[in-house]
Amino acid sequence: MKYLLIFILFSVKILNAQNTAVDSLVKAVKLEKRDTAKLRIYKELVGQSSNVDIALSLKYAKEAVALAEKTNNAEWKPVFYEAQGRNHANMVELDSAMAFFDKASAGYKAINNTRGEATTKFKIAWVYKRKGEVDKALNYDLAALKLMELLDDKRGICDAMSRVADDLMRMDKLKESKSYIEKAIAICEKYNLESEYYFVYMQAGDLAINSGEFINSLKYYDLAKAEALKAPDDLAQLSDVGNARGNALKKLKRYAEALKEYSSALASARKVNYQNAVSACLANLGEVNMIIGNYEEALKYQLETIKLMEAGEEFTNLTENYLHISNTYEKLGNLSKALEFQKKALDSRNKAASIESDAAMAKMLTQYETEKKEARIEDQERQIHQQQIVQWLGLGFLILLIGFIIFGFITFRNSRRKSNLIASKNAENELLLKEIHHRVKNNLEIVSSLLSLQSAQIDDDSIKDAMMESQNRVKSIGIVHQKLYQGTNLGAIEMKDYFINLSESILDSFGAEDRITLEFAMDSLDIDIDTAVPIGLIVNELLTNTIKYAFPHSEKGKVLIKLEKSSTGILRLEVTDNGIGKSGVIQGTGFGGQLISLLTRQLNGTMKESNNNGTQVIFDFAQLKSA
């Protein structure tokens, strides 16, 4: 609390200094009579005021745009279009931001300002990332990188490589992302680009946290924070790095420290009206409070996050956040509110799907009309070509040879066009398949939530247990579909990561995270979906049985899960615990045992059970599909 108070006092002191600078610049604008000189002052004013209040900076940017347009100053118009777009973007007004970035890009191109074109492409890419269209963002960032390389601008090249690394990370291409961020850091160090250290360290931290290297991510964020403190008047940077450090601490389960970081970052973001950071900090505060059981506090932040998302019409993300609020209300025992937000989640999902369908339909209609026009042009070209052959046939062998060359070129062009069309169709099919897996996962998640709500109203413990086991079975299938749409291979999933997610979900449902230790003695292994789902259900049943019966009286224990594939194609699954070692792979209702037997036969497998200082169950599955 003492450190937070010091930070607030420090921020107030900074803001007072910034306000003084802004006031001085406002007076200078009013006193200056020359238009060009006034525009130079406006540039400084827009930059300084963005550290005080982004809405205020937007106001001055609009004034500067009006003056530049009134005087038709081609040099300054794109500068302030870009500045106005940046302020709209930071206030999550994405459509307005894109409109001004497009105007800035055209203005820079008209006056051959290559660097201005590149920086505007950076900002357009940022908007596409915010909209979830990472592939488009990557195209713009790569184009900006080429322009910076053309200028031999080391600072710009470093910035571009850091942004490309972020795009690749969001596309789950972690190896390629690491290559780009390492190049960016090397350029930074070679040319001592002090202004870029903050950004490359932030990106390196983001990559580390996405790669599961949480300690390394915190080290990089600490380096970024040290750079940000060199310019303490930039509260936007301080809020970004504070939120990032909170994420690393959250992953390390240092929840109290994470809450302090998020709260401090939120305070900075609110001081400068930095809505992107405000939204991120609120969501993270809600998540951490939910994890540690502060449900009332979590709900407060979650509701504020939803309010911002509804205002920004972020329908895709609304679905997941409505489900979070439903779960919080369920924890608080308010079942009517939980059901209300379940319904909102369904409505939001359908609305997002409708928007996506409309966009897809518009794209297909445009493509259809374009193809018709191209076919008509191609037909006309063919007719002209045939007429030319008839007219010039008398010229002999030379004209005939030219005709063959033209025919070959047309054939090659048509072949290439067909190849491009096939590639486009394949990409669309892959996107549709990912969307199917995404929606199946969302539907299964809703089914799981409804089972949870239903069980909360049942008093019979045996029925409650059966409902929870059914909920876990649904979750095990849902995780498979989640891994499929998040991964790059739509036909297979990586089993070690799947087992980790599945096991954590089961332990959480029984509240056994602190007393059951899990070990996964296996390497990365990709398995096709038809095999992965039954194996996941088998592991779900075995782990559920172990938690319920192997460690009575809430004793602590260890469970080992091992999966490996032999050179002959045999897949061996081993699940071992150090519990009391009772015989019979499944106790209780008997349904779990029947399910395991059925799934084992389905996979053409065999099962062996042994009891020695615990229970060990071994399955051998033959004739597996290739992943």
Q: What is the pLDDT of residue 137?
A: 92
**Percentage of residues of the chain with pLDDT beyond 90:** 33
574-600 pLDDT per residue, tens: 999 998 876 555 544 577 888 888 989
* 498 and 615 together in one domain: yes
Choose one of 60, 80, 112: the last residue of a domain: 112
DSSP 438-506: HHHHHHHHHHHHHHHHHHTT---HHHHHHHHHHHHHHHHHHHHHHHHHHSS-TTEEEHHHHHHHHHHHH
* 10 and 91 together in one domain: yes
Q: Residue 40 domain-assigned?
A: yes
Q: Residue 350 domain-assigned?
A: no
DSSP 61-122: HHHHHHHHHHTT-TTTHHHHHHHHHHHHHHTT-HHHHHHHHHHHHHHHHHTT-HHHHHHHHH
* 11 and 101 together in one domain: yes
Q: Residue 412 domain-assigned?
A: yes
| pTM exceeds 0.85 | no
- Has residue 187 got a pLDDT over 90? yes
- Has residue 313 got a pLDDT over 70? no
DSSP 282-318: HHHHHHHHHHTT-HHHHHHHHHHHHHHHHHHT-HHHH
- Has residue 358 got a pLDDT over 60? no
Q: Which of 150, 129, 149, 156 is nearest to 140 (CA)?
A: 129
Mean pLDDT of the chain: 81
- Has residue 435 got a pLDDT over 90? no
* 412 and 506 together in one domain: no
Cα dihedral 106, 110, 116, 117, rounded to 10, equals 50
HSE-CB of 54 using CA atoms within 13 angstroms: 25
Q: What is the pLDDT of residue 362?
A: 44
* 409 and 499 together in one domain: no
Task: Name the token pair of 167.
Answer: 């795009």
Q: Residue 410 domain-assigned?
A: yes
User: Between vectors from CA 392 to CA 391 and to CA 394, what angle results, nearest 5°?
Assistant: 110
217-256 pLDDT per residue, tens: 999 999 999 999 988 778 888 999 999 999 999 999 999 9
Q: What is the pLDDT of residue 9?
A: 39
Q: What is the pLDDT of residue 439?
A: 64
364-404 pLDDT per residue, tens: 434 534 554 665 677 677 777 777 777 777 677 777 778 77
Q: Which of 28, 26, 7 is nearest to 18 (CA)?
A: 26
Q: What is the pLDDT of residue 423?
A: 67
Contact 202, 220 (CB under 8 A): yes
Q: Residue 523 domain-assigned?
A: yes
> How large is the average pLDDT for residues 603-616?
89
Q: Residue 527 domain-assigned?
A: yes
Distance CA 467, CA 458 (A): 10
Q: What is the CATH number of the domain that holds 42?
A: 1.25.40.10
HSE-CB of 348 using CA atoms within 13 angstroms: 22
Q: Which residues contact 273 (CB under 8 A, 6 or more apart)?
A: 53, 54, 55, 56, 91
Q: Which of 258-267, 337-346, 554-563 has the lowest mean pLDDT?
A: 337-346
Q: What are phi and psi of 69, to 5 degrees?
A: -70, -40
Q: Which domain holds residue 530?
A: 494-621
Q: Residue 377 domain-assigned?
A: yes
Choose one of 382, 399, 432: the last residue of a domain: 432
Q: What is the pLDDT of residue 454?
A: 66
Q: What is the pLDDT of residue 370?
A: 57
* 19 and 104 together in one domain: yes
Q: What is the pLDDT of residue 152?
A: 94
Q: What is the pLDDT of residue 495?
A: 86
- Has residue 285 got a pLDDT over 80? yes
**Residue 419 buriedness (CB in 10 A; 0-12 / 13-18 / 19+):** exposed
Choose one of 112, 134, 151: the last residue of a domain: 112
pLDDT bin (cut points 50, 70, 90) of residue 107 is very high
Per DSSP, the three-state class of 514 is coil
Q: What are phi and psi of 91, to 5 degrees?
A: -100, 15
* 413 and 503 together in one domain: no
Q: What is the CATH number of the domain that holds 503?
A: 3.30.565.10
Contact 249, 292 (CB under 8 A): no
**Residue 314 buriedness (CB in 10 A; 0-12 / 13-18 / 19+):** buried
Instruction: Tally the domains of the chain.
Output: 3
- Has residue 347 got a pLDDT over 90? no
Q: What is the pLDDT of residue 433?
A: 57
Q: Residue 482 domain-assigned?
A: no
Q: What is the pLDDT of residue 323?
A: 86
Q: Which of 139-143, 153-157, 197-201, 549-553 has the lowest mean pLDDT?
A: 549-553
Comparing 424 with 3, the larger pLDDT belongs to 424
Q: Which residues contact 288 (CB under 8 A, 6 or more apart)?
A: 246, 250, 255, 258, 259, 262
Distance CA 325, CA 301 (A): 10
